Amino acid sequence: MPRYALQVEYHGAPFVGWQRQRAQTSVQGQIETALAKLEPGPHTIAAAGRTDAGVHAWGQVAHCDLVKDWEPSRLAGALNFHLKPDPIAIVACAQVEGDWHARFSALERAYEFRLLMRRPPATHDAGLVWQISHQLDVAAMQEGARHLVGHHDFTTFRSTLCQSQSPVKTLDELSIKQIAGPSGPEVRFSLRARSFLHNQVRSFLGSLVQVGSGVWQPDDVKSALEARTRSACGPVSPPHGLYLAAVTYPTDIFSA
């Protein structure tokens, strides 16, 4: 059976998250339903990462196995037709080797988080950014973020529901910058790692906003990390500013 890799973009608001759930609308479930319209029978697809309810994606990657030998661009087009009107798009498709796996072949995941700083309510970016009415101290957040980069026990910054066998992970990047966004000043957070714990990114962001708001000092992030207890974490950020931006593999499967 030929295997196909799919690069998937979606707006997370209408979904309970990536993972299929009984009697609820998920991104995985909608794509599998679209696949069933192309080839009868149950379909199970695997993704590079399971995003939570309300989290968006620019660069999610999944794979599926089909009976028919599809030309990749025709498969993408057919899926996009059957995915309407859901805010899900297959932006790239490639045939891959049978042992290639969207999750286990991945070398790195990258996330972006958008935070809008303005008082008037967002209109065009509603549901796509975390909006805060006051200015944040970006330099202080950058100082606090430095404590999180590297190889650490991230018990403080993972959900109590996290199923990972170990809280020890390596965070390769957590960069923060302020930009002039289309709706006003934005703070953009960029994070890279081979893998993340459940709620790890949103836990980081909520704690760093405590620093930017002056509630925490930058060194309080280090203290929270070293506490290794969930109670030391700041408030978890809302999901709607978070995007799965990219997944990296040994070779660029979508380059063609």
Is 254 within a domain?
no
Q: How far apart are the C-alpha atoms of 254 and 4, rounded to whole Å? A: 11
Span 226-254, pLDDT tens digits: 999 999 999 999 999 999 999 999 999 99
State pTM to two decimals: 0.96
Number of domains in the chain: 2
Domain of 80 in residue numbering reads as 3-105
At 75, which helix (H) or strand (E)? helix 72-83
256 pLDDT band, cuts 50/70/90, is low
Tell which of 88, 105, 122 closes a domain: 105
pLDDT of residue 71: 97
Predicted pLDDT of residue 41: 83
Domain shared by 224 and 134, yes or no: yes
> How big, in percent rounded to 5, are the helix, strand and coil portions of the chain?
25, 30, 45
119-134 mean pLDDT? 96
Q: What is the pLDDT of residue 181?
A: 87
Which residues have a catalytic role annotated? 52
Same domain, 134 and 231: yes
Q: Please indicate whether residue 22 or residue 239 has the higher confidence score (pLDDT).
A: 239
User: Hey, what are 17's tokens?
Assistant: 């998250």
Pairwise CA distance, residues 200 & 159, whole Å: 7
Residue 200 and residue 81 share a domain: no
The CATH number that applies at residue 56 is: 3.30.70.580
Residues 200-218 have a mean pLDDT of 98
